[in-house]
Amino acid sequence: MAFAARREASLARFRTLGYDPAPMLLAARASFLRHRVRRMALFILALFGFAAPSRAEDVGLRIRFGLHDRQPNDWSGKIEVSPGRVVGIDGWRFAGRDRASGSEWVAMTDRVARRSNRPGAKGGGGKMLDNGVLVSLASVDDSSRVDVTTSRGDFSFALSDVPF
């Protein structure tokens, strides 16, 4: 049975039940057009979004220190970004004397204290716990270069090298 014949048979059933199929057909047609317009708009946005040069934006980074430390180590340092600026810095897993201010921090990796259920047992000697900083950057783009200076060594990277 051809499409037109099936359609007419379906419309005839609606009419025999006392329903007017015209509003349903208009709603279905409008829904189809809305879907098509949405798809076209998304295509245009994607086309121009990928073609436009990257613009400056805000970025947040977590930089971890001491992942392979076997002994407590000092990881104090500072961070710089160009082009762009450091808006804020917070500690991640900071404890004790660790602190952060401006674009600098003081941080030490340390051992996790062991717990014991035995009365009189002493803690200490647990596994090493890494820590790090949460850095907020502003007015950066893919070409921005981040320079990190620590007491254990320096490193740098481009934001385009960081997977998001």
Residue reference for tokens 């180590």: 73
Q: What is the pLDDT of residue 12?
A: 76
Look over the chain and give the mean of its residue pLDDT values, rounded to a whole number.
78
Give, in order, the Cα–Cα distances in Å from 77 to each of 106, 108, 148, 164.
7, 11, 7, 24
pLDDT digits (tens, 9 = 90+) for 120-139: 555 556 788 889 999 999 99
| Torsion sign, CA atoms 58, 59, 60, 61 | negative
Domain residue limits, the chain = 3-51, 57-161
Q: What is the pLDDT of residue 75?
A: 94
In this predicted model, which residue has the larger pLDDT, 51 or 88? Answer: 88
How much is the pTM? 0.59
For residue 11, give both structure tokens: 């419309």
Q: What is the pLDDT of residue 4?
A: 72
* Contact of 24 with 10, CB cutoff 8 Å: no
Q: What is the pLDDT of residue 96?
A: 86
Q: What is the pLDDT of residue 158?
A: 92
pLDDT at residue 111 is higher than 90: no
In angstroms, the CA 40 to CA 46 distance is: 10
Q: What is the pLDDT of residue 53?
A: 47
The CB density around residue 50, as the number of other CB atoms within 10 Å, is 7
- Give which of 88, 61, 64 is closest to 146, Cα–Cα: 61
Residues paired with residue 86 on neighbouring β-strands, in sequence order: 137
pLDDT at residue 19 is higher than 70: no
Q: What one-character DSSP code corresponds to residue 13? A: H
End-to-end CA, the chain: 53
pLDDT digits (tens, 9 = 90+) for 43-84: 555 555 544 444 568 899 999 999 888 899 999 999 999 999
Mean pLDDT value across residues 86-111: 91
